Amino acid sequence: MRLTRALGVTAASVVLAASVVVGGASTAQAAPTVYKNCTAVQKVYSGGIAKKSVTKNRVTSKGKVTYRALKGTVKKDDALYNANKKMDADADGIACEKS
């Protein structure tokens, strides 16, 4: 009887430890890449990095705002955009876009 209880506790500990390791591995995600400049971004994504909700490029010229289709290969990813937000000069939700 004593051996059965000891094995039961040991087995329960092993199962608990295994579930903690598996749970931790499944929720871990890689941090988004922070690029040095727009040249580095455009080598990977020729059209830049955009928020998922962005569908058009906002262009302001001589005080007039117009919207154009996105050009090149645009990566739509909120986390990646936020990591590289400093390169969105016109604050339209697209970093390093082609106009």
What is the pLDDT tens value at each position of the chain, 99 positions in all?
Answer: 555 555 555 554 444 444 444 444 444 578 999 999 999 999 999 999 999 999 999 999 999 999 999 999 999 999 999 999 999 999 999 999 987
Separation of alpha carbons 30 and 13, rounded Å:
29
The pTM of this model reads 0.68
CB atoms within 10 A of CB 6: 10
